[in-house]
Amino acid sequence: MSDPWLLVGMGRLGSALYASLQAIPVECQIDPPARHKSWPASWADRSVLLCLPDDVLHQVAKWPMPKHGLPKHLVFCSGATPVNLFQDLAKKGVLVGKLHPLCSFPSRDPQAFPPGLTFALNGPAELIGELSRWVHLWQGEVLHLEDVCAAQYHLSAVLASNFLGLLVREGAFLLEGLVQDRQSALHALAPLVRQSLAAALDPNMEKPFSGPAARGDHQQIARHFALLQERDPELAQLYQTLSARILQRMSMSP
């Protein structure tokens, strides 16, 4: 694939992908920002990378077939969206694939992918060969992901990462009133959070839990629930549900 890739979508993921392609190097051009409602003529016979939200990808898949031609290759960077969303394009001869880094990009400062990332790939052999080459040069790991497994893969990522930030900030909010400010609260909690995360990521620890639920301390759980019930009833219900889940896990045989 000697022609330059055309990168569409310069958000946080798109910016990181662009920096990563430049580092390998793979020639890549940035598509000018535009609110396309149909296949742009500038995409015809090009290799296109879509770094767009899932809802926008679904809109793109509904665009009518153009008269001026389609992309040669279309690779999107979504964990949840299946490749067969673009099956009509595939029937027209477009090679459609997926490249999804199993990582979040909270910073808007565009930096190349760090080594050690896992990348979910799907698509025809020609595309997989090229995308795998990129992953190898990024010192990453390839995860071949069939469409039937896309939802399970994406849910795994959501459960493992998306709620961590929420729970840390809820804990910090409770601590703020006892220390100087939010920064002080987060600083105080940081070692505890890091230790808990390290335990969760240790494959040799069957039950990497701590706290009242891990100890089976129902009285302390009840006191915490009562305190939260006064402050935030919804968070109290979440605390009770998560505590019950840990109690269940602790009762299971290793």
- Two tokens at 3? 């022609």
Q: Exposed, middle or buried by CB within 10 Å (0-12, 13-18, 19+), for 231?
A: exposed
Q: How far is CA 207 from CA 155, 158, 204, 253, in A?
A: 21, 20, 9, 10
CB atoms closer than 10 angstroms to residue 115: 9
Measured CA to CA, the distance from residue 139 to residue 45 in angstroms comes to: 30
- Is a pLDDT exceeding 70 seen at residue 231? yes
62-108: per-residue pLDDT in tens? 999 998 899 999 999 999 999 999 999 999 999 999 999 999 988 77
Alpha carbon distance 9, 18 (integer Å): 10
Q: What is the pTM of this model?
A: 0.90
For the segment 102-160, what is each residue's pLDDT rounded down to a tens digit?
Answer: 999 887 787 899 999 999 999 999 999 999 999 999 999 999 999 999 999 999 999 99
Find the mean pLDDT for residues 223-248. 98
- What's the mean pLDDT in 196-213? 96
The token pair at 59 is 């809109």
